[in-house]
Amino acid sequence: DDLAIEKVGVQHPVLLLPNVDRIAVASYERIEAFAKKGGVVLAVGRVPSLAPGLQDGNESPRVKEISARLFTESGALGHIVGEQDLTRFFTPDVQLEPKTPEIGFVHRKLDGQDVYFLANTGNQSRRVTAKFRVTGRGAEWWDPFNGKVSAAEVVASDGKTTTVALDLAPYDSRVIVFSDANTPAAPKNISRTTTPAVLDISSGWTLSFPGAKPAAMDKLHSWTDDEATKYFSGAATYTKTVSVPAEFLSSAGEVLLDFGPGTPVSGSERARFRAWIDSPVRESAVVTVNGKAAGSVWRPPYNVQVKGLLRAGTNEIQVVVGNLALNTMAAQSPPNYRLLNLRYTERFTPQDVENLKPLPAGLLGPISLVAR
């Protein structure tokens, strides 16, 4: 914004001129002064050569003179760059290795804190290292879903940046906070190839619907596969007794009850607001282990932490699953709006209600206990 530059100067350490042709002389003079004071001025593609509007004929030569001094003459303080080599002149706020366009971030600076919100906007899990332009501050993960705070494992720190290991499930997001109040952690050589111990508990569940006797479900499948529950909407309860070896618990930093990764699906222009992944939990679940609440499952990653609730030996796991009202609606005839339309005229057209079919429901699996 050249008018803002003319009035208040440049408020940032780096100024980018993206293929700028025309610029007011007064603004350009402020930019040249900014460069002389140590500011970084980068011109992408080409440099300004014209003054705007009616000033074109009289002041364009002055614009060319400033461009020559700033970018092309010996000792020029500015730099002409391509679109991909900006990092030669400053450290990016966040660098991901490997590069992952699906992961975006927002950075907010507070007194004594740098807060980063990171989000995976794709339907695939991503494991990367994230290098933040922060140094000398301790790092913590803040979980907005449960309010828990945990230390972030620092992989490297070079005096200018801090590198942290980052795992994001499909559509997963994290908040990391760098704070003066926390002592910076020494970098750790973290192995990212350790294979976790897994107990498969996908079979042998008992399923109870309201008003019906509990029935064995040896192999997990959708409620819609059974004629008696094809059009059921509501909540049903899965229970299972699980035997957990003592060594399984003693060797683990955490134990997750994992309901599966979900299945990525292809997109459609009509349904632009849905997540392109089919959940293994349709649609949400509340988990209880040995009579104590473990948490709820409704989004990736589809798991809950259960280490503090499990014990060596026999454990009782209960999962209450609720599905969508659409399944009951699919068994009914669509509403007839004829009389309403005759009286008030047709004010709206129902969308996507022809030939409604029930959607998959319940736990689809696989389900496992994962110690890592």
What's the chain's average pLDDT?
91
For strands 113-120 and 14-18, give the pairing.
unpaired
Q: How far apart are CA 182 and CA 269, in angstroms?
A: 46
- pLDDT tens-digit profile of 53-95? 876 678 999 999 999 999 999 999 999 988 667 777 778 899 9
pTM of the model: 0.78
- pLDDT tens-digit profile of 290-329? 999 999 999 999 999 999 999 999 999 999 999 999 999 9
Contact 162, 154 (CB under 8 A): yes
Residue 38, amino acid: G
pLDDT at 273 over 80: no
Q: How far apart are CA 272 and CA 191, in angstroms?
A: 38
pLDDT at residue 193, as a whole number: 55
140: pLDDT confidence band, cut at 50, 70 and 90? very high
pLDDT at 251 over 90: no
Give the angle 275-263-105 at the CA atoms, nearest 5°: 45
Query: Out of 5-9, 96-100, 154-158, which region has the weakest mean confidence (pLDDT)?
Result: 5-9
Q: The tokens of 95 are what?
A: 């660098």
Q: How far apart are CA 247 and CA 225, in angstroms?
A: 38
Q: What 3-state class would DSSP assign to 177?
A: strand
pLDDT at 192 over 60: no
Contact 323, 227 (CB under 8 A): no
pLDDT at residue 6, as a whole number: 81
pLDDT at 34 over 90: yes
